[in-house]
Structure 1
Amino acid sequence: MTPDEIIDPLRPMQHLSDTLRNTLHPHQGGARDIAPEIPILLETCRWMQGADPTAPILTRDLVSLCDYLDALADAEPEAILLADAPRIDRWCAAVIADLPVLVSLVTGHPRLRQGARTVTSPLVRIAPDRGWARTFSRYYRLGRPDQSVFTALLAEGRLHPGALRFDIPDLGGWT
């Protein structure tokens, strides 16, 4: 995936899910030619669900992955979930290893130190006008965007050299 393939920057995984569903269409011959990022997502999804991440990929697994991505993209966070969610500041959107992510500083994350510069799991949906983002693994509260964190991490060699930034519409909502 490249930034040009992202049809809706507020739901950047939608194109991937739609493309995968089309690949699975019976007239297309099944799941022979899937994008390279799909096995990575499937492994992560299986790991999160306590299943064997290395099991062979079956068509039903790909349908389940599409259903999972669509459910994440359609969900709205409950206030209590958002209140406890980590906060990302100085964030920007990027495509790294063919997947859309947020590059940011994070606070309140259960496994990362306060203020750590990080790359999120794949970005499924972002609602900048409501101050939140949903990645493959969790919700985040949005602070202010800032492209300089991407530039700094790229210059330091802490991002894949093929990483590319993409724009999220400025709808406000962050604090």
Structure 2
Amino acid sequence: MLLTFENPQVREIAERIHALSRDLRLIEELEAPSIRDISAAPVLNDWRLGRRAEPALMGFVEGHPSVRPGPVVTSGVYYLDPIAGYARTLSRWYRLGDPQP
């Protein structure tokens, strides 16, 4: 899967994350959700919390602000450019060293 803006799915994910960020700020400021937001929302019956897989990076990290050097699995990766040598996960930027052979 190509994770650059050449892939239209990457742009769509970025737009969704931007909208989520905006909505979370509005919730924090007690300005959302509106009655219109809730009345237009689909109903989810018999619901429960679940888990799902998403693309992530695995490797050995150095210089992370809260994780010791060593093996890690990152949060979801949303942009990956191995040629330029960087990636953006949900949490942070990563510089990419050598890939696994």
Shorter-chain TM-score tier = 0.5 to 0.7
Specify the alignment match of 1:123 in structure 2. Answer: 77
Matching residue within 126, 141, 149 for 2:95: 141
For residue 102 of structure 1, report the CA deviation from its aligned partner. Answer: 0.5
Counting only pairs closer than 5 Å after superposition, residues 6-155 of structure 1 correspond to structure 2 as 8-11=1-4, 15=9, 18=12, 46=24, 58=37, 97-115=52-70, 117-146=71-100
Larger helix share, 1 or 2: 1
Q: Distance in 1 between matches of 2:55 and 2:85?
A: 18
Tell me, which stretches of 5 or more residues in structure 1 are unaligned? 1-7, 22-37, 60-95, 148-175
The amino acid that maps onto 2:61 is: V
Higher RCO (CA 8 Å, separation ≥ 6 residues):
1
The amino acid that maps onto 1:9 is: L
Tell me, which stretches of 5 or more residues in structure 2 are unaligned? 39-50
**RMSD of equivalent CA atoms:** 3.8
TM-score, length-normalised on structure 2?
A: 0.54
The amino acid that maps onto 2:56 is: V
Q: 1:15 is paired with a residue of what secondary structure?
A: helix
Q: 1:105 is paired with a residue of what secondary structure?
A: strand
TM-score, length-normalised on structure 1?
A: 0.33
Q: How many residues align?
A: 76
Q: Distance in 1 between matches of 2:90 and 2:79?
A: 9
Q: Distance in 1 between matches of 2:67 and 2:8?
A: 28
**Structure 1 vs Structure 2: percent identity of aligned residues?**
37
